[in-house]
């Protein structure tokens, strides 16, 4: 894995957490992807046609709110004519509900892309190819072992991205110390552990601590509050934990995977703590695998609530997740390769 040097590029933002408060409890996180989302009503046709739901990134939502006009942050996002009011009862995040979701082949296996050794070298040496699309001036924080895009208005990451290898998992030897703390690399100041105290929500990792137990510094970095998000206990300790474990299994089976994780919103009304950390209504995770001459990707979107459903019922193609969120994953990839891996997924391949 290419290790990114510590640095941050950010525009000045007001507000932030109270970094001088005592550190008393745990915090949240998870990875990697292009942004947080807001749900909006968008009418596809005029007159009396049904209204459909469309996601957008939180950055786009807040820019629209401030400028009173639509601002597209991704070439794949559809620019609505106006920003409707948040529905009083937001609709649930749509998830597959039948076993047909277990195996979806938009393209045949024979159509899956291959790449040369030169391409493989490029992928392995240029980790930023796995980052979602972001705008100039966005607050990109590159820690030693993972990268995130911090959103001051939601006080958490829009996405967290990192590489996970079989060698790392085989060399696991350090135990978590739960050293939750504010992230000093966030120029506008990150959320604080106290924001979660008494809230009823877990400090949920976006980049899981269990993925980084092979290095003491790597493990410690996962406890920055910039890597935390308010997760319902039944979700964080249930279906979300199962997905994290499944990703580790896939890394062991495929030698290396790239992971992008982030929150999903249908509204921004619920907040916790003095820094007003927004509670997401769901989370997404995108997994990209490069092994030999095989390239594949799969995406998941889950509601922030306890669930007894099977993981495959939440699976979808990256293209489908992009259409729902307005995000653009893997924009640095060659277009033909990106289009192929994003349009196809087969859960049984993993």
pLDDT of residue 125: 45
Instruction: Give the start-to-end residue ranges of the domains of the chain.
Output: 25-349
Task: Give the span between the Cα atoms of 185 and 221, in whole angstroms.
Answer: 11
CA angle 159, 163, 167 (to 5 degrees): 150
Residues paired with 150 in a beta bridge: 139, 157
Task: Give the span between the Cα atoms of 172 and 236, in whole angstroms.
Answer: 22
Q: Considering only CA atoms, which of 259, 258, 256, 318 is closest in space to residue 291?
A: 256
Answer yes or no: are the C-beta atoms of 58 and 36 closer than 8 Å.
Answer: yes
> Which CATH number does 25-349 carry?
3.40.570.10
pLDDT of residue 65: 52
Q: Residue 19 has which token pair?
A: 């970094």
pLDDT of residue 293: 60
Catalytically active residues are: 205
Neighbours of 117 (CB within 10 A): 8
Tens digit of pLDDT for each residue in 128-168?
667 887 888 899 999 999 999 999 999 999 999 999 999 99
pLDDT of residue 327: 87
Task: Give the span between the Cα atoms of 22 and 142, in whole angstroms.
Answer: 25
Neighbours of 116 (CB within 10 A): 9
| pLDDT mean by block of 10 residues, the chain; 350 residues | 42 40 38 37 34 45 47 34 34 44 36 44 53 85 94 96 94 93 95 97 98 95 98 98 98 93 95 97 94 82 97 96 89 83 90
Helix axes 318-325, 335-343, angle to 10 degrees: 90
pLDDT of residue 137: 84
pLDDT of residue 69: 38
pTM for the model stands at 0.68
pLDDT of residue 133: 79
């Amino acid at each position: 894995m290419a290790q990114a040097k510590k640095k941050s590029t950010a525009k000045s933002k007001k507000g932030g957490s109270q970094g001088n408060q005592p550190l008393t409890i745990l915090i949240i996180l998870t990875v990697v992807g292009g942004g947080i989302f807001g749900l909006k009503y968008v009418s596809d046709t005029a007159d009396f046609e049904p209204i459909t739901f469309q996601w957008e990134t939180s950055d786009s939502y807040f820019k629209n709110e401030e400028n009173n006009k639509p601002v597209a942050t991704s070439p794949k996002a559809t620019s609505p004519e106006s920003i409707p009011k948040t529905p009083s009862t937001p609709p649930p995040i749509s998830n597959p509900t039948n076993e047909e979701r277990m195996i979806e082949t938009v393209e045949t296996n024979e159509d899956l892309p291959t790449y040369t050794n030169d391409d493989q070298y490029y992928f392995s040496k240029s980790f930023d190819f796995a980052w979602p699309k972001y705008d100039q001036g966005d607050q990109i924080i590159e820690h030693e072992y993972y990268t995130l895009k911090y959103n001051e208005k939601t006080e958490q990451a829009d996405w967290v991205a990192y590489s996970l290898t079989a060698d790392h998992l085989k060399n696991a030897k350090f135990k978590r110390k739960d050293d939750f703390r504010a992230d000093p690399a966030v120029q506008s100041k990150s959320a604080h552990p106290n924001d979660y105290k008494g809230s009823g929500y877990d400090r949920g990792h976006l980049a899981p601590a269990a993925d980084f137990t092979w290095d003491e510094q790597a493990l410690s970095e996962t406890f920055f509050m910039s890597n935390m998000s308010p997760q319902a206990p039944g979700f964080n300790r249930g279906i979300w934990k199962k997905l994290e474990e499944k990703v580790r299994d896939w890394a062991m089976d495929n030698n290396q995977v790239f992971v992008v994780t982030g929150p999903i919103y249908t509204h921004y009304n619920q907040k916790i703590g003095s820094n007003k950390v927004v509670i997401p209504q769901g989370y997404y995770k995108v997994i990209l695998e490069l092994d030999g001459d095989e390239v594949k990707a799969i995406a998941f979107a889950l509601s922030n609530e306890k669930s007894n459903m099977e993981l495959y019922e939440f699976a979808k193609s990256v293209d489908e997740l992009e259409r729902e969120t307005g995000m653009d994953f893997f924009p640095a990839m060659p277009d033909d390769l990106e289009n192929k891996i994003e349009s196809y997924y087969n859960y049984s391949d993993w």
